């Protein structure tokens, strides 16, 4: 007991020391390679001979600054701990890997403690808690496991065999003395049903069992079953969590710092430029928090996305614009048999006439086109003689033309009155077509056999025999053909269901573009497909960008290929383009990916020569920043 008390006092003092010193877990970037010393004996092996932008051969070597601040060559690489709080990270395939190290000093570790570390990620306006890192002391875990063992023993005390809750001996004595025939069954392997048992002995099996069940044992067992959750909380004060954690490791001893390298992959977003990571946490002894770990200074990751290299300039295509345009629609206007007057209240004419007036109003108000003329073509069904249908269809076309001519005149009168009443200028009159005459041209199609051909062939209720006979009648004159159809079994179906659909009135609207005199003009418009591809590139939807931009074989399509790591395709495109700073830079990046340092450095220097802003861009892309560090590029720009 004295030893336990001393250990408890020791832990309390240790926790108090942590609070006084504000000790914290360290959050740092992973180790990188740096170049701390010179080895001139191997200098030539790491020297590059490249052409500068003026075509002269120059020697470039791996280099660092010496103690006097001068650049010296080296290729000996030693590891060193990074102390910087930021890093440039590259986005590839729409994702970024954020790597950081969590270091827990030995002074924060104790066998009886559990350290729970909570990394928080900050991007745009959101704060996201990442999966925790849990470091468990050896004795802390033993205590957890001991609790689980005690709970397992408790579960073992719950009776699952109901015979253990019965006085079996007394039950056997009772049966032997009072029901010897039943007692004889004890060694009989035959099955005695509940019904046979009851009819033979006058008591059910359930009643016999309940009589000899020990009630207080049942009540105790029921209490144990009901108290399982309570006992779990009593014995297992801190459950072992296996889900939602990045790491839960048990440390024995704690003789040195604990280091864990954490990798978090995120999807990039169009406006995402940087991400911050901080680290906090708590130390627990059993289920008590004994120390809150101060939150660390943030690490900042600046995201280098190839989408930022996209050229946002619009691309144009030539479009031929015709002066004249046409539109058409058809409606079904019911007429009395043999009649041709338009009655809005007859049949289904109301909705159809309303639809045509809506079309006319829309065309007359169109800000791009002027309505010149309307060709009205009326058709009849085949019953009746062809000459009669020819005259009737023309009269119906003229009646419809007259009806809608009056509609247009009434609308013009109404708008002109409004124009005068509100003192509107001539612009209003012109925009509404009030000063133009719209001509109606009446034409006819006496019997619409072409439409009937399609209706018959598509009708599911006409027999194949009737359809074949109908097709064979096409060589006959219209009147002979209609007489022949009357002999078919399906004629009633045709006349009642298909013929009414032939009585159509077709409207062909002829328009011209406002203010346009020439028949055609050639103009340039923004290429909408290309613009969509560039938007997809900027939004990091690289698969879509590649699909849309592939046919253009230009700089943006090369960027899209490069973003998908299709480096060979990107290079094929760039080689065919005019040499510019941006094409040289993209080629430098691809050459660096291929491991061709010479080609990469050469292209990068050309890009910088043409556009010095690529000095700063190079520090953002890991492929180029590696070259800058290793070969001491841009030092004269410092």
Residues 381 and 517 in one domain: yes
- Residue 192's pLDDT is 53
Alpha-carbon distances, residue 221 vs 75, 154, 159, 166, 227 (angstroms): 76, 11, 6, 13, 10
Residues 539 and 625 in one domain: yes
DSSP 94: T
Tokens, residue 409: 């005149």
* Residue 114 included in any domain: yes
Q: What stretches of 306-448 show up as alpha helix (H) in DSSP? A: 349-364, 386-421, 426-431
* Residue 244 included in any domain: no
**Residues 78-93: pLDDT tens digits?**
333 335 688 888 887 7
d(CA 197, CA 207) in angstroms, rounded, equals: 11
In this structure, the dihedral spanned by the alpha carbons of residues 34, 40, 42 and 46, taken in order and rounded to 10 degrees, is: 60
Q: Find, among 486, 489, 452, the residue nearest to 471 by Cα.
A: 452
- Residue 42's pLDDT is 34
Q: What are the backbone angles phi and psi of residue 371, rounded to the nearest 5°? A: -85, 120
- DSSP E strands in 14-146: the ranges are 26-28, 32-34, 47-51, 57-61, 63-65, 71-73, 78-80, 86-90, 95-104, 113-123, 126-129, 133-137
- Residue 425's pLDDT is 55
- pLDDT band for position 230 (cuts 50, 70, 90): very high
Q: Per mean pLDDT, which of 168-177, 205-214, 355-364 is the most reliable?
A: 355-364
* Residue 507 included in any domain: yes
Higher pLDDT: 442 or 186? It is 442
Q: Find, among 627, 560, 619, the residue nearest to 593 by Cα.
A: 627
d(CA 143, CA 113) in angstroms, rounded, equals: 10
* Residue 243 included in any domain: no
Alpha-carbon distances, residue 388 vs 29, 70, 394, 474, 484 (angstroms): 94, 107, 10, 20, 19
Higher pLDDT: 193 or 249? It is 249
- Residue 209's pLDDT is 63
- Residue 555's pLDDT is 96
Contacts of 632 (CB under 8 A, 6+ apart): 60, 61, 62, 63, 64, 71
- Residue 255's pLDDT is 66
pLDDT at 178 over 70: no
Strand partners, 375: 441, 508
- Residue 124's pLDDT is 84
Strand partners, 571: none
- Residue 422's pLDDT is 63
Q: Which domain holds residue 200?
A: 151-235
Residues 128 and 78 in one domain: yes
Higher pLDDT: 22 or 492? It is 492
* Residue 246 included in any domain: no
d(CA 183, CA 171) in angstroms, rounded, equals: 10
- Residue 195's pLDDT is 56
Place of tokens 């943030």: 298
CB 422 within 8 A of CB 397: no
pLDDT at 203 over 70: no
CB 248 within 8 A of CB 132: no
CATH assignment of the domain containing 301: 2.60.40.10
Domain end among 235, 268, 287: 235
pLDDT at 174 over 80: no
Q: Find, among 367, 369, 504, the residue nearest to 438 by Cα.
A: 369
Residues 351 and 483 in one domain: yes
Tally of helices (H runs) and strands (E runs) in the chain = 23, 23
CB 161 within 8 A of CB 147: no
Residues 432 and 532 in one domain: no
Residues 193 and 63 in one domain: no
**Residues 589-614: pLDDT tens digits?**
999 999 999 999 999 999 999 999 99
Domain end among 185, 202, 235: 235
**Mean pLDDT (whole number) for 380-408:** 93
The conformational region for residue 103 under phi > 0 = left, psi -120 to 50 = alpha, else beta, is beta
Q: Find, among 601, 606, 603, 555, the residue nearest to 577 by Cα.
A: 555
d(CA 162, CA 165) in angstroms, rounded, equals: 5
* Residue 577 included in any domain: yes
Residues 219 and 203 in one domain: yes
In this structure, the dihedral spanned by the alpha carbons of residues 331, 333, 337 and 339, taken in order and rounded to 10 degrees, is: -110
Distance of CA 104 to the CA centre of its chain: 38
* Residue 372 included in any domain: yes
* Residue 140 included in any domain: no
How many distinct structural domains can be found in the chain? 4
DSSP 496: I
**Residues 450-468: pLDDT tens digits?**
999 999 999 999 999 999 9
**Residues 235-289: pLDDT tens digits?**
998 999 888 888 888 887 656 888 899 999 998 887 788 999 999 999 999 999 9
Tokens, residue 517: 């005199």
d(CA 127, CA 329) in angstroms, rounded, equals: 57
CB 113 within 8 A of CB 8: no
- Letter string b/e over residues 600-617, b meaning 16 or more CB atoms within 10 A of that residue's CB: bbbbbbbbbebeeebbeb
Q: What are the backbone angles phi and psi of residue 425, rounded to the nearest 5°? A: -85, -175
Percent of the chain with pLDDT strictly greater than 90? 42
Residues 534 and 612 in one domain: yes
The secondary structure of 106-126 as a DSSP string is GGG--TTEEEEEEEEEEETTE
Higher pLDDT: 170 or 402? It is 402
Tokens, residue 87: 């890093």
CATH assignment of the domain containing 617: 1.25.40.10
**Residues 16-75: pLDDT tens digits?**
777 777 777 777 887 654 333 333 333 333 456 566 666 666 555 454 444 444 444 443
Indicate the helix (H) or strand (E) that contains 488: none
Residues 414 and 486 in one domain: yes
- pLDDT band for position 567 (cuts 50, 70, 90): very high
pLDDT at 636 over 60: no
**Residues 85-139: pLDDT tens digits?**
888 888 877 788 999 999 888 888 899 999 999 999 998 888 999 999 999 999 9
Residues 571 and 498 in one domain: no
Q: What is the mean pLDDT of the chain?
A: 81
Evaluate if pTM is beyond 0.75.
no
**Residues 408-458: pLDDT tens digits?**
888 888 877 776 776 655 554 444 555 568 899 999 999 999 999 999 999
The conformational region for residue 365 under phi > 0 = left, psi -120 to 50 = alpha, else beta, is alpha
pLDDT at 196 over 60: no
- Residue 79's pLDDT is 30
Q: Per mean pLDDT, which of 317-321, 428-432, 515-519, 545-549 is the most reliable?
A: 545-549
d(CA 605, CA 636) in angstroms, rounded, equals: 13
Range in 4-13, 171-180, 336-345, 522-531 the model is least confident about: 4-13
Higher pLDDT: 222 or 83? It is 222
Residues 333 and 473 in one domain: yes
Residues 469 and 573 in one domain: no
Indicate the helix (H) or strand (E) that contains 279: strand 274-285
- Residue 113's pLDDT is 92
**Residues 321-379: pLDDT tens digits?**
677 778 888 888 888 888 899 999 988 899 999 999 998 888 888 888 888 899 999 99
d(CA 466, CA 468) in angstroms, rounded, equals: 5
Q: On the CB side of 449, how many CA atoms lie within 13 Å of its CA? A: 17
**Residues 477-487: pLDDT tens digits?**
999 999 999 99
Q: What are the backbone angles phi and psi of residue 288, rounded to the nearest 5°? A: -105, 135
d(CA 360, CA 426) in angstroms, rounded, equals: 21
Place of tokens 């005068």: 420
Domain end among 235, 267, 295: 235
Tokens, residue 68: 């006097």
d(CA 142, CA 146) in angstroms, rounded, equals: 6
- Residue 522's pLDDT is 60
d(CA 235, CA 448) in angstroms, rounded, equals: 91
pLDDT at 8 over 60: no
- Residue 264's pLDDT is 92
CATH assignment of the domain containing 407: 3.30.1330.60
């Amino acid at each position: 007991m004295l030893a336990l008390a001393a250990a408890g006092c020791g832990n309390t003092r240790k926790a108090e020391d942590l609070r006084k010193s504000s000790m914290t877990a360290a959050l740092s970037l992973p180790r990188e390679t740096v170049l701390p010393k010179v080895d001139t004996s191997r200098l030539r092996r790491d020297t590059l001979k490249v052409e500068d932008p003026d075509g002269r051969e120059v020697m470039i070597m791996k280099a660092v600054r010496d103690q006097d601040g001068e650049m010296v060559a080296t290729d000996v690489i030693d590891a060193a701990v990074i102390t910087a709080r930021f890093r440039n990270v590259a986005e590839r395939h729409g994702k970024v890997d954020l790597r950081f190290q969590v270091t827990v000093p030995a002074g924060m570790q104790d066998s009886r403690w559990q350290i729970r570390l909570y990394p928080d990620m900050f991007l745009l306006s959101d704060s996201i808690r990442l999966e925790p890192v849990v470091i468990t002391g050896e004795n802390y875990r033993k205590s957890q496991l001991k609790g689980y063992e005690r709970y397992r023993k408790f579960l073992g005390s719950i009776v699952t065999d109901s015979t253990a809750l019965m006085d079996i001996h007394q039950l056997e004595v009772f049966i032997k003395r009072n029901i010897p025939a039943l007692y004889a069954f004890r060694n009989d392997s035959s099955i005695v049903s509940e019904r046979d048992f009851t009819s033979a002995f006058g008591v059910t099996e359930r009643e016999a069992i309940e009589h000899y069940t020990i009630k207080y044992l049942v009540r105790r067992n029921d209490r144990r079953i009901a108290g399982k959750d309570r006992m779990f909380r009593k014995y297992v004060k801190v459950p072992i969590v296996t889900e939602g954690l990045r790491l839960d490791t048990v440390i024995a001893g704690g003789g040195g710092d604990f280091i864990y390298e954490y990798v978090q992959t995120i999807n990039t977003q169009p406006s995402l430029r940087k991400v911050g990571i901080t680290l906090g946490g708590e130390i627990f002894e059993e289920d008590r928090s004994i120390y809150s770990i101060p939150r660390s200074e943030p690490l900042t990751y600046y995201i280098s996305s190839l989408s930022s290299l996209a050229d946002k300039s619009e691309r144009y295509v030539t479009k031929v614009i015709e002066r004249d345009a046409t539109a058409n629609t058809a409606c079904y206007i019911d007429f009395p048999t043999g009649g041709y007057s338009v009655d809005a209240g007859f049949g289904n004419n109301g909705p159809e006439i309303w639809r045509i007036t809506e079309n006319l109003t829309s065309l007359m108000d169109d800000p791009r086109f002027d309505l010149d003329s309307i060709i009205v073509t009326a058709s009849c069904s085949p019953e009746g003689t062809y000459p009669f249908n020819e005259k009737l269809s023309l009269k119906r076309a003229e009646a419809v033309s007259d009806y809608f001519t009056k509609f247009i005149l009434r609308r013009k009168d109404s708008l002109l009155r409004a124009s005068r009443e509100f003192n509107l200028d001539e612009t209003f009159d012109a925009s509404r077509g009030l000063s133009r005459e719209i001509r109606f041209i009446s034409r006819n199609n006496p019997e619409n056999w072409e439409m009937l051909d399609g209706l018959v062939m598509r009708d599911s209720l006409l027999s194949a025999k009737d359809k074949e006979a109908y097709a064979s009648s096409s060589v006959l004159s219209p009147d002979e053909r209609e007489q022949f159809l009357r002999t078919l079994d399906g004629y009633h179906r045709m006349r009642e269901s298909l013929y009414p659909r032939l009585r159509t009135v077709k409207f062909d609207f002829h328009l011209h573009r406002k203010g346009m005199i020439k028949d055609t003009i050639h103009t340039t418009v923004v290429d909408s497909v290309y613009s969509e591809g560039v938007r997809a590139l900027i939004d990091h939807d690289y698969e879509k960008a590649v699909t849309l931009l592939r046919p253009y074989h230009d700089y943006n399509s090369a960027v899209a290929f490069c973003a998908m790591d299709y480096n060979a395709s990107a290079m094929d495109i760039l080689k065919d383009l005019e040499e510019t700073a941006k094409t040289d830079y993209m080629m430098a990046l691809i050459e660096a990916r291929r491991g061709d340092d010479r080609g990469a450095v050469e292209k990068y220097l050309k890009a910088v020569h043409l556009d010095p802003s690529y000095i700063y861009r190079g520090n953002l892309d890991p492929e180029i920043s590696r070259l800058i560090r290793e070969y001491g590029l841009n030092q004269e720009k410092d």
